[in-house]
Structure 1
């Protein structure tokens, strides 16, 4: 076949690429010597085998609050997620990110506008317009249709779009983080309310014990076995216990107000919350492959990942600024004095104006901008790595504390059993006049302290369990939400681009 573009066995090249290349080489502005060697660390970079062993456990489910057996807790969490201002703030940030994606996407398409202008003007005799227009009032009608298109040869607009998409993913992940943080805060505060009620029960029971001791003391004083010193001591101990009860009453009300604030409601809402009836929850067993899977389970890691990806797109966009821009502009319309000839062919105006913009000298502005983008990249890579380190430490710390608390509870319950028996024996001996009041009060104090330790450890363990659920992502799964932070097998550098979102993620 005859090819008019082929001569001497070669295809002639279009002059456009050659012209652009020549202009690029002629430009003085370049980004030589600007770069970064910072790397995203994969989860395997950190040793976790001993601290986070595979135990064939499961990741927390979205309805993790159900495991504690108190139907009021998941209801309170749902109420908080529905009405809390912090969630509204997160959703607003998502809306803004979505709008920025829309704006960036519009930059890839041609822009078409239309305009109409009517102008009433007296033209001077000493300008370009001779009589009969010069020296008279005239009305000018102008109707134009304009179209412009940035060819985006170097992908600057596409990079800007990818950056906006990544920022939207950051906002999505941060919204999930806000939800998880709020849910865990509600559960932790609710557990604190349960702890205060349990301590209140202990002090209520102690009031009865101290009153019993007071009655025994009264009989002993009547019998001449004790003096008024022991009677006043017994009354003082009873009053002190009443003070502890009143203090706990105030703490319970304050905690109810805290819960109401977490729900996004007024303080009266906290007064209507029923007393908690929480159970122990599920056994603690870590899932297999925890460090690697944690990357898509923790929304803070996901957000940090997409922030780095957004920085990389910003770097690429800044690099594209060093190359020439080519814009195509076309204008067509009608322009005439008066209305008589406005809609005629003689009034038509057409303009086509391709333009090339090439930076040659800018006093270092583009290089400074690129250095700033790389600085953002370096900072957020370091932030990602620190977030991953903190996440692994968070999980390991909560697991270690739970297992330590389990061991402490075994000994604390043994101590409570022994102290209870000692107090019971001391009470019998005091009634029989065999020991002094102070010995009985010491035994009672020891029993109360042991009971308080057990309650505190039980409630602390549940609080740690809630913290572990939060540390493991609180039921979030980035892979199911198209947000997974898929870290490559080798560290990512600016010269090895971070993997682009999979199809369907934009």
Structure 2
């Protein structure tokens, strides 16, 4: 029996089938990620956070709770034009452009070709009529190229780029939150330095009065030079404290000016802060996962992990065949007079299929690298999650602890104030001397200085808590469905 001849189409498809059969040579077997995202609700924090007060939502302009219009104006000025924010915004635009490139790779490209080429074949190469004649060709054509995304690799690259855009946008918001927090911290330092200068000035006045009394007692012959020297040392110490406080004032003003993006002369226009109020610490009435969903570092790291998971999908798609479609449609002729005739039409096109078989381990190593990138991104997210909860808990504990300390010191100051008042009363009644009054005044000033330092720490605890809560920002994080899909892609 005579065998049937193989059809031409079957002969053309035979190499394709053979290539598909060999596709197993480039395999993803044994490559997987090692780290999984932590569920925020699995981190036990309810007992620690339950004792805090509840607020409906943290204001995005959280610094206005301190009650100083000058502070409000400084923060708004900084947010309007600080150079570091321009850099953060530029990184966002850079990520957007990169996403645009990834999106463009998914679409067909069309280009116009206009070409003229000529050749002169010498007689020594070819006899007449080819040899010795110059021939030219004019070509006008339309190039069309397209790579169908059968395996979703191009879409995965685009989604990974979008994830990087989202992360850059969140990090730009984080830069604004950090800038506002630094402005408030420097402003609190400025207020504390002014309070320290007040205490140092009062201590200097007390020491000068003590020095005057000592000199009078020496002149009257009822005391020796030791009391005078002691008083002079107290005056010198008060001068040193005043100079240090003034230096802190100048440094805080210069820091604020730099945060505003201005020169040091801007510091001269910053007035003394008003008496800042420290709000009671409170948390939004949400579970920890939603609480941390407003933190820029947590949300940005989630987007980084999401982008890395899509990178894994793109790397896996490279193990499958790729198809490139190309076509050229145009007109060609040996001269311009025949270029637009019906016989000048030229067309070329068709699919090109490529399949990795042996590549020296490039694809497997690329997938291993993207798996490691995902593990790093997830590890960063898990770390930020734990750090975020710790910072919230630390800020709450600091605020509550400082409130107790301030209350204790104020009770001590009330006792010192009573002792000082009693000394004044006894002095006016002739039952004690001015030395007794000045001695009773010293612990009062020391307690005033301690209260000022504790109040500054309490204000900074408010800043820490507001920043730990995300500064009232409303951020868009990957959805749970998206996270699930990312985990599936990673596996």
TM-score, reference length from structure 1: 0.87
CA displacement, residues 202-252 of structure 1 (integer Å, 9 cap, x when unaligned): 111222222222222233223322222222322332232122212211221
- Asked if 2 retains the 8 angstrom alpha-carbon contact of 1:141 and 1:336, the reply is yes
Q: Which residue of 2 aligns with 1:61?
A: 59
Q: Which residue of 1 aligns with 2:74?
A: 76
- Asked if 1 retains the 8 angstrom alpha-carbon contact of 2:292 and 2:389, the reply is no
Q: Which residue of 1 aligns with 2:87?
A: 89
* 1: CA distance, partners of 2:213 / 2:350: 107
- Asked if 2 retains the 8 angstrom alpha-carbon contact of 1:58 and 1:285, the reply is no
* 2: CA distance, partners of 1:109 / 1:173: 28
Q: Which residue of 1 aligns with 2:473?
A: 476
Which blocks of at least 5 consecutive residues in structure 1 are unaligned? Answer: 1-14, 499-506
CA displacement, residues 163-218 of structure 1 (integer Å, 9 cap, x when unaligned): 11111001011111111011111111111111101111111122222222222223
Alignment of 1:79-478 (within 5 A): 79-119=77-117, 121-125=119-123, 131=128, 134-423=131-420, 425=422, 443-478=440-475
Secondary structure, counterpart of 1:56 in structure 2: strand
Shift of 1:258: 0.7
- Asked if 2 retains the 8 angstrom alpha-carbon contact of 1:39 and 1:493, the reply is no
Q: Which residue of 2 aligns with 1:12?
A: none
Q: Which residue of 1 aligns with 2:22?
A: 26
Q: Which residue of 1 aligns with 2:3?
A: none
* 2: CA distance, partners of 1:164 / 1:389: 27
CA displacement, residues 268-322 of structure 1 (integer Å, 9 cap, x when unaligned): 1122112111431432222222402123211111101111110110000000000
Could you tell me which of 21, 39, 42 is aligned with 1:42? Answer: 39
* 1: CA distance, partners of 2:73 / 2:125: 80
Shift of 1:137: 4.4
- Asked if 1 retains the 8 angstrom alpha-carbon contact of 2:310 and 2:486, the reply is no
Shift of 1:43: 1.2
CA displacement, residues 419-463 of structure 1 (integer Å, 9 cap, x when unaligned): 3343555677789696896x8776544333211110111111011
Higher alpha-carbon deviation: 135-144 or 396-405:
135-144
Shift of 1:42: 1.3
* 2: CA distance, partners of 1:251 / 1:426: 34
- Asked if 1 retains the 8 angstrom alpha-carbon contact of 2:174 and 2:296, the reply is yes
Secondary structure, counterpart of 1:180 in structure 2: helix
Higher alpha-carbon deviation: 442-451 or 62-71:
442-451
- Structure 2 CA distance for partners of 1:72 and 1:436, relative to 1, 3 Å: closer
Higher-helix-fraction structure = 2
RMSD: 2.9
* 1: CA distance, partners of 2:247 / 2:241: 10
CA displacement, residues 47-94 of structure 1 (integer Å, 9 cap, x when unaligned): 011111174323321111211111111211111112212111110111
Secondary structure, counterpart of 2:284 in structure 1: coil
- Structure 2 CA distance for partners of 1:59 and 1:240, relative to 1, 3 Å: same
CA displacement, residues 13-48 of structure 1 (integer Å, 9 cap, x when unaligned): xx9999978744421111011112521111111001
* 2: CA distance, partners of 1:101 / 1:399: 40
* 1: CA distance, partners of 2:194 / 2:104: 58
* 2: CA distance, partners of 1:215 / 1:359: 96
TM-score, reference length from structure 2: 0.90
Which blocks of at least 5 consecutive residues in structure 2 are unaligned? Answer: 1-10
Q: Which residue of 2 aligns with 1:5?
A: none
Secondary structure, counterpart of 1:308 in structure 2: helix
Secondary structure, counterpart of 1:217 in structure 2: helix
Secondary structure, counterpart of 1:355 in structure 2: strand
Higher alpha-carbon deviation: 142-151 or 271-280:
271-280
* 1: CA distance, partners of 2:460 / 2:199: 20
- Structure 2 CA distance for partners of 1:81 and 1:433, relative to 1, 3 Å: same
- Structure 2 CA distance for partners of 1:151 and 1:463, relative to 1, 3 Å: same
Secondary structure, counterpart of 2:364 in structure 1: helix
